Structure 1
Amino acid sequence: MPPPFAPITENQGKKVRGEFFLPILLGAVAFLILLGPEVLPPWRDGWLTTDRDFATFHLSWMYYRDTPWSWPPAANPRYGIELGSSIFYGDLVPLIAMPMKALAQVLPVGQFVGAWFLVCFVLQAVFAWALLARPGVDRTARVAGCVLLLFAPFLVYRIYQHVSLVAQWIVLAALWLALRPERPRRALPWAALVALGSLLNAYLLVMVAAIWAADWLRRLAAGPRWALLPEAMAMPLIAVAGVWLGGYFFIAAGLPWGDGYGAIGMDLLGPLTAGYSSLLLPDWPPQPLHEGRAVFLGAGGLVVLLGAAAALAWRPAALGGLERFWALGLAILALFAIAVTHRVMVAGQLAFELPIPGWALALLEPLRSSNRFAWPGLYAVLVLAVVLVARVLPKAVSARVLMLAAGLQVGDTANWWVPNRNTLAAEPAGWTTTLVAPFWAEARGRYRRLRQVMPTGQPTFMDPAGQDGWAMLARYAHDNGWDTDVSYHARVAAEARARLWAETRRRIAERDWEAGTLYVVQTAMHDAMRAAAIQDRDLFAEIDGITVFAPGWHAAPTAATPAAVTPPPVTPAAARAP
């Protein structure tokens, strides 16, 4: 029996390529099941208000689209003003945002998130199909394997939150390339994958780079070749050029959100414990909802693992030949170690914490959602398990096991995708707003900028219902053609925010308001802004549940001027400035 990842023959390859329509169809069907057709029309953007990451993606896109080109091309200064930086930190995907901005110069371009998701699911299926094209793995096994990877919980979890991280197909593409050691002229395909990863997401780039490094090391160990040296020098340059182009280096010293590296590590039992994402299996160990739990292999994944264990018990030699991929195994183990972090969790409890130097923590801090680095290993395990079941067990048995696993994977993740899909389908076509008072229409002609007191770059401004009022306000500013610092960024520059806070406090103390600026006020700053308002000149009021400070509003009274509403009293603790 050939090794598990042996290449198929030329005749088998022709047959697999002749079935190219199957993975495309599988990917499209998975997209329709998980998201539905409602997310595709570019004029329908109401569903992007269902999650703050979706919302900031679309807001960042609208500001980027409507701002003239600058250099570097990823700059997006109007969304965030002093806190703004680049599309990278506004959760946009540079790989698609920059071409779409160019297209928007000649054609109207609305939301493209739905189309991007469709492309991602098709590519996920295509590369899953390619990975499973092995001797002894028939069409039924490849279809079942594709379904397992399309409905993997750690992918399904992403599609309702993180636009860029749905591109997990690039991990499958890297694994496919690394598992084809016979393929010559590998430098160009690897360069393309590294370049794509650098314009997709920093986490995906690190995964692709690690898999490339493993493949390069394997080739080097096979026989030192000077021809490999240019490739080793070029790949880091390509990665750095890509992240520079995408806007990563706009912030030299950023303020992270969250608790840093180690806070969102992978529980050692995470791949085997269902948590909130399972319909059929219990939530054990019970823990709060957080991203660190999103590494479950799925109920179908567990079934195929059991099938693979049975196959190995029957034929232990079935794993023969895997030793040629020793470097890839080391890379996957290293990524697993980063995913687990120095704070080792078992069943939701901290088992022990390894000492780690401060410089290493600082280096790893940008990768604080470290559980994601388990993905290459999880995908490799699922693919290997499918191959073992398909090749070792009798065909009738393997077909039943794999189809059962595929069905369970789809059904078990329904606990997550059914309510989310229904929510997306129920959203109106466009964004809704509660800013209905005449004041907001009047303000359009009197101001040209919307600021928050105090500005944070985070979604801290809520409407009366507790929803993300910041997104509604940012959309109001965009539709008026205003710049705004009511925005949400993955990071903001530490020095820029410190300067902005100092300048804001100075303006409050001196009543020196920025010309043409309307302010929305957080609860903690109500007292300070109320005291700074000059009664016959400025408006300090609660309007549609939003506390506003409008400098000079009474200088030209209109019918739209509302009666001032005193905001609710604040406690001394809440009254402190952030």
Structure 2
Amino acid sequence: MLSFFFIYGTKILDVCDDNWLLNGGDLSQHYLGWCLYRSSPWTFPLGLTPEYAWPHEISAMYADVIPACAVFFKMMSPLLPETFQYLGLWGLLCYVLQGGLAAVLLRRFIPSLWLSGAFSLFFVFASQLMYRMYTHTALGSQWILLLAFIFLFCKDWLAGKNIWRLVWGAMGALCVGVHGYFVPMVFLIMLAALYMHWWKAGEKKECFFLMGCYVASVFASMWILGAFSLPLAAGAASLGVFGANLDAFFNPVLPAPSQNPILLPQSEFMPVHPVVDGQQEGYSYLGLGGILLVTVAFFMAAWGKFKGERLCGDYAPVAFLCLICMMMAVFPKVAFHETVLFQVHYPDLMNRVLSVFRCSGRFIWIPAYLLLLFSLAKVTGIQGKGVWRKAGIVMAFLLLAVQLADFSPAIKNIHCNIYDGLGRYARAAQAGQDFQATGEGRGMLKDFEIVDEMMKKHKYVAYTDCRYDKADYSLMLSYYAYKNNVKLKEFYLARMPMEQLLAEQEVLQRELRSGRPREDTLYVIADRKEFELYEGLNCYEINGVLLGSKQPLGI
């Protein structure tokens, strides 16, 4: 908890304060996704809402609103204030669980309770956690992976087949209720657990039964949340674009300005190397302390192997798990820094299946956490005694101090700039411009107050091009539409019912070209050339945003 306050402060915990969530980027999308879902009537399946692409019902899952929280707080909505955000509280909960579960996991390998708690800071100050927490909050819930690791390594803590069926079934529902990308990650961890604890013991039928519990829970949870109600197309990006670079563990790389930028700089000691565009998705810098820890553990393991010790022992399935996750993360476009070494072309069917999780770089989180776990166990002398074990513990503490020093610039910049928008700070820094934190927030709404008045005179907002790619403008329009109960024909989502939207776009464009704009619709126009094709439409340019209305708005 103290780590969370140290990094992010306390201001964002005010559930009635949404100013820091209105600076643009994914964080604004997630908050507005919750607002729109909350404002819609209840349906079944529970996660559906027509507010994202009126009148089509789309699941709130695809707005990355942390569906379990969204459904719960929507139930509580009559008791909540008009402005209510839970992302601050969720972040605090994630840090508490990250630290607590890391300590429990380390306790399996480190006999001392207080040492386990101290070294859990390697997991609490993980770069991928700090990066994700308030650029893509649902993906900051990486304690789910630590919980799965506990079930992987600590089978003897729970007894009885029914208990384990319940555990893995609950894990499936939990993953769906937080973010879909945790579903395949936890499934892979579960496969390693099944092999280690059941398959090798001859209980093969139980393995399939446990897998069935997990898969059934996943599909049931998705059905309840409405994931199957529309044939939602995947995004335009293909598999491999958002992979991980081979330098991911030791490169404190920054996302490109066009993506969700993380703060500059990320490391006090390590240099930044540019990577292939999109591969910042696999960001999992170990930190200098973590790199040194893994290096020391590697040499200790090599020395043990030289003396005849077993390298993996009973944990060979875990090593295989790391290998599989690394391959999923770095393939099919294998690159080092900015150089693409080679690209693998998967069969069409395989490519379509894997493209469901096209941001494959995220799978590198599993080997990143496991590297820290086993390195800590090795260095602190899980089997050592006397002076050598004490020396290992002292070394681990020194490396923890190095780790915190290495991440100090990132922590400082997050703490100072989170309220005004991490992405805005990063873009300014990358452009060599000064960024003065004001503590006011609402960056994406500044100079657009006139749009609020325009919304009051319409019932719908429609895009003349449903591939409109100006994300912050789209989110700004969505905010004012939400505040004025105006129906959106399209909200900014990664997955949309594109077939229906394209068909409606053709009808809308035919109406405009024939001089029949709708009285109740505010049109968002892609560019001036497009506007020249339309008749009977009054065009207004608001700080780069082209809006059209049949009504003369007098502005």
- Whether these two folds match at TM > 0.5 is yes
Counterpart amino acid of 2:36?
Answer: Y
Change (3 A) 1:507 1:43: same
> Which aligned pairs between 1:407-486 and structure 2 lie closer than 5 A?
407-425=401-419, 426-428=438-440, 432-437=445-450, 440-441=452-453, 443-456=454-467, 459-460=469-470, 468-485=472-489
CA offset digits 1:252-294 (Å, max 9, x no partner): 2414143x11112222232133334322111246666852450
1:221 aligns with 2:197: no
In our comparison, the structure showing a higher alpha carbon Rg is: 1
1:512 aligns with 2:500: no
Structure 1 position 527, deviation (Å): 3.6
- The structure 1 residue matched to 2:159, chosen from 164, 169, 184, is 184
Question: What TM-score results when the alignment is normalised by the length of structure 2?
Answer: 0.86
CA offset digits 1:462-516 (Å, max 9, x no partner): xxxxxx2222211111111111135210111231222122122212122233341
Structure 1 position 420, deviation (Å): 2.9
Residue 212 of structure 1: aligned partner: 190
Structure 1 position 132, deviation (Å): 0.5
CA offset digits 1:190-230 (Å, max 9, x no partner): 22112101222121111111111222233122113544443
- Whole-angstrom distance in 2 between the partners of 1:286 and 1:231: 40
Unaligned segments of structure 2, at least 5 residues: 255-265, 420-437
- Whole-angstrom distance in 1 between the partners of 2:67 and 2:549: 36
Question: What TM-score results when the alignment is normalised by the length of structure 1?
Answer: 0.82
Contact 1:145 1:383 in 2 (8 A): no
- Whole-angstrom distance in 2 between the partners of 1:226 and 1:369: 33
Residue 538 of structure 2: aligned partner: 539
- How much is the aligned-residue C-alpha RMSD, in angstroms? 2.6
Residue 212 of structure 2: aligned partner: 233
For the residue of structure 1 that corresponds to 2:221, the secondary structure is helix
CA offset digits 1:288-319 (Å, max 9, x no partner): 68524502211121121133235335544797
> Which aligned pairs between 1:494-509 and structure 2 lie closer than 5 A?
494-509=498-513
For the residue of structure 2 that corresponds to 1:271, the secondary structure is coil
Unaligned segments of structure 1, at least 5 residues: 1-27, 462-467, 555-559, 563-578
- Whole-angstrom distance in 2 between the partners of 1:385 and 1:495: 50
Residue 132 of structure 2: aligned partner: 158
Counterpart amino acid of 2:554?
Answer: T
- Whole-angstrom distance in 2 between the partners of 1:497 and 1:489: 13
Change (3 A) 1:213 1:395: closer
Counterpart amino acid of 1:223?
Answer: G
Contact 1:269 1:347 in 2 (8 A): yes
Contact 1:91 1:490 in 2 (8 A): no
Contact 1:137 1:390 in 2 (8 A): no
Residue 114 of structure 1: aligned partner: 88
Contact 2:129 2:140 in 1 (8 A): yes
Residue 14 of structure 1: aligned partner: none
For the residue of structure 2 that corresponds to 1:68, the secondary structure is coil
Change (3 A) 1:444 1:359: closer
Counterpart amino acid of 2:11?
Answer: E
Change (3 A) 1:494 1:293: same
Contact 1:46 1:427 in 2 (8 A): no
Residue 304 of structure 1: aligned partner: 293
For the residue of structure 2 that corresponds to 1:53, the secondary structure is helix
- Whole-angstrom distance in 1 between the partners of 2:304 and 2:311: 14
For the residue of structure 2 that corresponds to 1:352, the secondary structure is strand
Residue 434 of structure 2: aligned partner: none
For the residue of structure 2 that corresponds to 1:283, the secondary structure is coil
Change (3 A) 1:99 1:353: same
- Whole-angstrom distance in 2 between the partners of 1:84 and 1:406: 49
Change (3 A) 1:321 1:270: closer
Contact 2:525 2:547 in 1 (8 A): yes
- Whole-angstrom distance in 1 between the partners of 2:50 and 2:346: 37
For the residue of structure 1 that corresponds to 2:463, the secondary structure is strand
For the residue of structure 2 that corresponds to 1:157, the secondary structure is helix
For the residue of structure 1 that corresponds to 2:107, the secondary structure is coil
Residue 359 of structure 1: aligned partner: 349
- Whole-angstrom distance in 2 between the partners of 1:369 and 1:481: 34
**Could you tell which deviates more after superposition, 477-486 or 304-313?**
304-313
Structure 1 position 84, deviation (Å): 6.4
> Which aligned pairs between 1:32-431 and structure 2 lie closer than 5 A?
32-81=5-54, 85-108=58-81, 110-134=84-108, 136-139=110-113, 141-182=115-156, 183-185=158-160, 186-218=164-196, 219-224=198-203, 226-258=205-237, 260-276=238-254, 277-284=266-273, 290-312=279-301, 315-316=304-305, 320=310, 322-391=312-381, 392=384, 394-425=388-419, 426-428=438-440
Contact 1:43 1:429 in 2 (8 A): no
Counterpart amino acid of 1:245?
Answer: I
Change (3 A) 1:515 1:51: closer
Residue 433 of structure 2: aligned partner: none
- Percent sequence identity is 22
Structure 1 position 445, deviation (Å): 4.4
- Whole-angstrom distance in 2 between the partners of 1:79 and 1:494: 13
Structure 1 position 362, deviation (Å): 0.9
Change (3 A) 1:323 1:187: farther
Change (3 A) 1:349 1:82: farther
- Whole-angstrom distance in 1 between the partners of 2:68 and 2:464: 34
Residue 465 of structure 1: aligned partner: none
